[in-house]
Structure 1
Amino acid sequence: MPHYPTRRKVRPINPHKLALSKWTAVVALNKEKHFLVTRVVPPISPDLPVEEIELQAVISGRSVVLPWRDLQDDARWHQGWV
């Protein structure tokens, strides 16, 4: 029987429910791996969808703003603190 590669699951993420969620970077960013979503950046107009979130490093408190869709990339982020 041939072996077929398994399909990666796409995690459904609702950007409005990301606030205070925990994330682990697969590759450390500035020696920081554990992050918390501190803010969902509101769009310029209420008619536009949410595009960005603010992540804060747990250790240093440094914040970075990035597109929320980046969190769906399993090669870069894991949900929760691993």
Structure 2
Amino acid sequence: MSEAVKSSSAPGSEVQAFGSPAARRLSPNKLLLSKWTAASPHNKEKHFIVTGVIQPEPPATRIESIELEAVYSRRVFSLSWRDLTEGQRWLQGWQ
């Protein structure tokens, strides 16, 4: 009844699957309370949650950094929110 959909793209121009590091798009406004997994855990710290979005002094400028808290040790540190797009270091959600 139904036909298989054939791709008309040229070889070598495959689209990245959803959730892959190249396709990950983050909005700094939606990061608060989001969950993250370290790709290579250290000191038993594997799961993290964004506990704060650091607002810049002039409110018209863009958000640059966040506070990330380790669930296991409750250690809090600050980093650039763009670092979360690195698929070799961070995975979205708890895995």
Q: How many residues align?
A: 80
Partner of 1:38: 51
Q: How far apart in 1 are the matches of 2:92 and 2:34? A: 8
User: TM (normalized to structure 1)?
Assistant: 0.87
Which digits, 9 at most, give the CA deviation of each residue in 1:22-79, with x for residues without a partner?
0001011333010000000101111110000000000110001000000001011000
Uncovered stretches (5+) of structure 2, i.e. residues with no partner: 1-10
Moved segments of 4+, more than 6 Å: none
Partner of 1:58: 71
Percent of aligned positions with the same letter in both sequences?
Answer: 49
Partner of 1:25: 38
Q: What is the Cα-based RMSD across aligned positions, in Å?
A: 1.7
Partner of 1:14: 27
Q: Looking at CA atoms only, which structure, 1 or 2, has the larger radius of gyration?
A: 2
User: TM (normalized to structure 2)?
Assistant: 0.76
Q: CA deviation at 1:5?
A: 8.3
Question: Structure 1's 5 and 75: CA in aligned 2 closer, same or farther, altered over 3 A?
Answer: farther
